[in-house]
Amino acid sequence: MSQKRLMVQMKPQANIDEIYQNIEASGAHMLPAPRIFPPVFHLVGPEPIINNFKQQYSDDFERVMVDGPLDNE
């Protein structure tokens, strides 16, 4: 299954605690991200998991910084 990488900055009003919990439950892996506010989520995981995250939270995205396959594939 192909792996994707997604780095997004969330809107200030996003429910960050809920998003963290859902990422942990999904099986995606969090990578280091800039420590700024609003927070940045940097995720790697199977394409369906990343696509589901995008579908569920896209209204909370301030901006998308990276959205694509892993560089090593």
For 19-58, the pLDDT digits (tens) are 999 999 999 999 988 888 889 999 999 999 999 999 999 9
For residue 73, pLDDT beyond 70: no
User: Confidence band (pLDDT; 50, 70, 90) for 72?
Assistant: low
* Structural domains of the chain, with CATH: 3-69 (3.30.70.1150)
Give pLDDT, residue 70.
87
DSSP 1-58: --EEEEEEEEPTTS-HHHHHHHHHHHT-EE------SS-EEEEEEEHHHHHHHHHHHG
